[in-house]
Amino acid sequence: MTKRKDTTPSPEAETETQGSAAEADVATSTGIPRRAFMTGTAATVTAATVLPNLRMARAAETGPVKIGHIEDLSGNLAVYGVQKYHAALLAVKEINEGKTLKGGPVGSGGLGSIAKFAAAPPVMGNGDKDLKYVSDGGAMTGAGMAFVEDDDVLVDSGDSGLLGREVELIAPDGQSNNNIWQQLTRRLILEDKVDCLVAGFTSAEREAIRPIVDQHKQLYIYTNQYEGGVADSNTFCTGAIVEQQVIPVVDYMIQKFGPRVYTIAADYNFGQLTAAWTKAFAPLVGGEIIEEEFVPLSVSDFTTSIARIQAAKPDWVFTLLVGSNQSNYYPQAAAAGLEYPMASTVNMAQGYEHRRFKPPSLNRMYNCVNYIEEIPTARNRAFVRRWYEMFPDDPYIGQMAQNTYFSIHLYAIAARLAGTTDQETVKKALESGLTIEAPEGAVFLEPSTHHCSHYIRLATADADHNVSFVREWPSIQPWWLQRVGVNLVKHKEYKQYIPDEDPFFKMFAK
């Protein structure tokens, strides 16, 4: 007994050594002394079992906070991956410089709201004591922003790094190859023991790594816009989904151009499911899908598809084309004289086709986006300036890059709220109704479904490829998973729902 007391350091001493170890390399400072210590005192069983556990718990809280980040830095999808990687670098740099995006557990809403303001308050009642209604009284001075939008939403965090620790980004290259994604995910979880995993461009990549994430209960943030429906206790989806992008744009297009829609979509889970969603939703807003065409990702000659569209004579075309090969559709369609209006959820904001292709390839393209570099608000201009100061040679800041950027700041806010980087605790903190002031506007992480509300703008390109915004929705909720009864706070789930599982849509199908 006495022997054990001698060799067991007091808790205070333990904390001190761990604190100084934070400066040095973690692996060597916590791993090797423990082994030396254990061989020395292996005499007593209690010391050997209790102490390493204690040490292990603390070891996770020293050294840098590790954020694992996988994106495609080479291959067919590199154009998006490099942007997202740069976004992660920018966010990590800002956190380490003691900055944060504004935000916290304040619920849905955010900074700045439009309101009417009165110089004198309205009078209750009609001059007598009957207070049944508000009279016209009061002096209306005007309408405008009740709270002026901040010039910049990046403020001091009052923290050095995250919880006093430096944030380290471990960002291997996924090489546009799903097998490599799986290997890298295992490596980041098992070897690097990352505190948070931020990864994923295509839905195929996400579905390839999600089983591994769930097996190890890894906190995982998927930052892409996608087809929606993932209800996973370990996964937080911070990109916009179908109900935020497809319904608004389909509604607008049907009102403006007519009900007959031709869908041409990439032939994998994103394209198939988004097309299924469109087919399910279109009748709700008076539309009709006259033809659906799925194009394999390898196809790059669209002559036949263009002729099919001309034969079908739609009012407008819904293009859900993904990757470098498929973006050939736009110049080819323009050269063949195809002049139908187009809508999409992926183009422009993602692969900046309006910058890459000669006008007027994207003339009359409409897209509901949660971010696009051209957003004219003060906070976005400040964000764009910060970005190009760090990466002056970048061609464009896309929607997904912005999502990765605010998601890493969101993780930092949640970890500060939790007071720890312990993954289960941070997941709970992320479920506490967090809002973050992203460059797009206020984003609210809805606790029960792990999806975000977004500031949605309907962006369109004209014949000269100038971007303008024809409609704005300051906050659209991710409501469909709530409709089917998902509540991840109460019931753990690890699946992806598809529209076929909801009888709701069959009521409206024609």
Query: Chain-centre distance of CA 356, in angstroms?
Result: 24
Total residues in contact with another protein, by rule CB under 8 A: 41
14, 48, 290, 294: which one binds another protein (CB under 8 A): 294
CB of 78 to another protein, least distance (A): 5
CB of 333 to another protein, least distance (A): 9
506 secondary structure, DSSP code: G
Q: Residue 463 interacts with another protein (CB under 8 A)?
A: no
Q: Which helix H or strand E contains 365, and what residues bound it?
A: strand 365-369
Residue corresponding to tokens 């370990």 = 234
Q: Residue 179 interacts with another protein (CB under 8 A)?
A: no
Q: How many C-beta atoms lie closer than 10 Å to residue 39's C-beta? A: 9
Q: Residue 327 interacts with another protein (CB under 8 A)?
A: yes
441 secondary structure, DSSP code: E
CB of 267 to another protein, least distance (A): 6
Q: Which helix H or strand E contains 495, and what residues bound it?
A: strand 494-496
Q: Residue 310 interacts with another protein (CB under 8 A)?
A: yes
**CB burial class (10 A; 0-12, 13-18, 19+) of residue 331?**
middle
Interface stretch with another protein, choices 91-99, 325-333, 440-448, 462-470 (CB under 8 A): 325-333
**In contact, 172 and 187? CB cutoff 8 Å:** yes
CB of 80 to another protein, least distance (A): 9
Interface stretch with another protein, choices 159-167, 199-207, 287-295, 450-458 (CB under 8 A): 287-295
CB of 358 to another protein, least distance (A): 3
**CB burial class (10 A; 0-12, 13-18, 19+) of residue 340?**
middle
Q: Residue 307 interacts with another protein (CB under 8 A)?
A: yes
In single-letter form, the type of residue at position 217 comes to: K
CB of 491 to another protein, least distance (A): 38
Q: Residue 506 interacts with another protein (CB under 8 A)?
A: no
CB of 354 to another protein, least distance (A): 12
Q: Residue 290 interacts with another protein (CB under 8 A)?
A: no
Interface stretch with another protein, choices 95-103, 187-195, 331-339, 489-497 (CB under 8 A): 331-339
* Sequence-separated (6 or more) residues with CB below 8 Å from residue 195: 60, 65, 66, 67, 219, 415, 421, 423, 426
By CB under 8 A, what part of segment 59-88 binds another protein?
A: 74-76, 78-79, 82
By CB under 8 A, what part of segment 374-413 binds another protein?
A: 393, 395
Interface stretch with another protein, choices 55-63, 150-158, 206-214, 355-363 (CB under 8 A): 355-363
Q: Residue 325 interacts with another protein (CB under 8 A)?
A: yes
Q: Residue 364 interacts with another protein (CB under 8 A)?
A: no
Q: What is the DSSP string of 10-25?
A: PHHHHHHHHHHHTTS-
Q: What is the dihedral of CA 362, 364, 365, 369, to 10 degrees?
A: 130
- C-beta of 173 vs 243, nearer to another protein: 173
CB of 339 to another protein, least distance (A): 9
CB of 353 to another protein, least distance (A): 9
Burial 194-217 (b: 16+ CB within 10 A, else e): bbbbbbbbbbebbebbbebbbeee
By CB under 8 A, what part of segment 333-352 binds another protein?
A: 334-338
Q: Would you give the binding string for another protein spanning residues 255-274, x where CB under 8 A is met?
A: ------------x-------
How many residues in the chain? 510
Q: Work out whether strand 435-438 and strand 220-222 pair parallel, antiparallel, or are unpaired.
A: unpaired
Nearest to 504 by CA among 479, 487, 476, 484: 484
Q: Residue 293 interacts with another protein (CB under 8 A)?
A: yes
- C-beta of 22 vs 336, nearer to another protein: 336
Q: Residue 358 interacts with another protein (CB under 8 A)?
A: yes
Q: Work out whether strand 451-461 and strand 467-476 pair parallel, antiparallel, or are unpaired.
A: antiparallel
Measure the CA–CA gap between 90 and 10, rounded to whole angstroms.
41
CB of 478 to another protein, least distance (A): 30
Residues in the site for another protein, rule: CB under 8 A?
Answer: 74-76, 78-79, 82, 267, 293-296, 298-305, 307-308, 310-311, 313, 324-325, 327-328, 331-332, 334-338, 355-358, 393, 395
